[in-house]
Amino acid sequence: GAVVSQHPSWVICKSGTSVKIECRSLDFQATTMFWYRQFPKQSLMLMATSNEGSKATYEQGVEKDKFLINHASLTLSTLTVTSAHPEDSSFYICSARRSTGHYEQYFGPGTRLTVT
Amino acid sequence: QKEVEQDPGPLSVPEGAIVSLNCTYSNSAFQYFMWYRQYSRKGPELLMYTYSSGNKEDGRFTAQVDKSSKYISLFIRDSQPSDSATYLCATVKAAGNKLTFGGGTRVLVKP
């Protein structure tokens, strides 16, 4: 149990275009989902936290107009990177947390974004 | 000083040995503790989580938490080459959302 999927696993896009990444909790309802970014050999950096039906809370320094997060249901959150640039190339990972009272997060397999 | 400290390694052990990993934390507000395993270019996989001091065992894995010393450990018995990965400790404050990670320890299990 507690499986989180991400799609796509790898995407290449041209500079200036937008790309959407989906994160789904497959066998549980996730009241809270998180989006992280990870550069090679570095730790995970939290970008934003989203609760179903609410606006996402972004970490300091993360541009909310560039990284659009939608958490439309208890099993789906999406991250859209708008007007992508080569510096946005990174490994994006989502995670999901069960209902209130649970603190552990279950991570997806990650999405590798390359902007050319 | 980081809130959660973890030796980066690498920690190299022979196959079959016990892998011993640990983290220290500085903030007594941290109440819940997790261990994750991350393979290269993959998302972290939750191995163990515990909400209290003491030991918790699951298969080859044992997690220990000592809140009085602010010290958490993970032991992996009968290590396998497939256990070669980066291990991350993480903690959360009570009623909190965000995970605070240690920097990760790279483990190499040699056949």
Are the CB atoms for A80 and A11 separated by under 8 Å? Answer: no
Q: What pLDDT band is residue A75 in, cutting at 50, 70 and 90?
A: very high
Mean pLDDT, chain A, as a whole number? 93
Evaluated on CA atoms B82, A45, A6, A14, the torsion sign reads negative
Is residue B81 helix, strand or coil?
A: helix
End-to-end CA, chain A: 37
- Chain A contacts of B98, Cβ < 8 Å? 46, 49
DSSP string, A29-46: --SEEEEEEE-TTS--EE
Tell whether A97 lies on the interface with B, counting CB pairs under 8 A.
Answer: yes
Does position A15 have pLDDT exceeding 90, yes or no?
Answer: yes
Q: Would you state the pLDDT for residue A102?
A: 82
Query: What are the residue ranges in chain B where pLDDT is below 70?
Result: none
End-to-end CA, chain B: 36
| Out of A91, A97, A107, closest to residue B41 by CB | A91
Tell whether A109 lies on the interface with B, counting CB pairs under 8 A.
Answer: yes
CB contact under 8 A, A109 and B51: no
Alpha-carbon Rg for chain B in angstroms = 13
What φ, ψ does residue B94 adopt, rounded to 5°?
-60, 135
Strand partners, A78: A22, A70
Interatomic CA distance for residues A51 and A6, integer angstroms: 18
CB contact under 8 A, A110 and B101: no
Listed in sequence order, the residues at least 6 apart from A1 whose beta carbon sits closer than 8 Å to its beta carbon are A27, A28
Per-residue pLDDT tens for B3-22?
A: 999 999 999 999 999 999 99
Listed in sequence order, the residues at least 6 apart from A29 whose beta carbon sits closer than 8 Å to its beta carbon are A74, A75, A98, A99
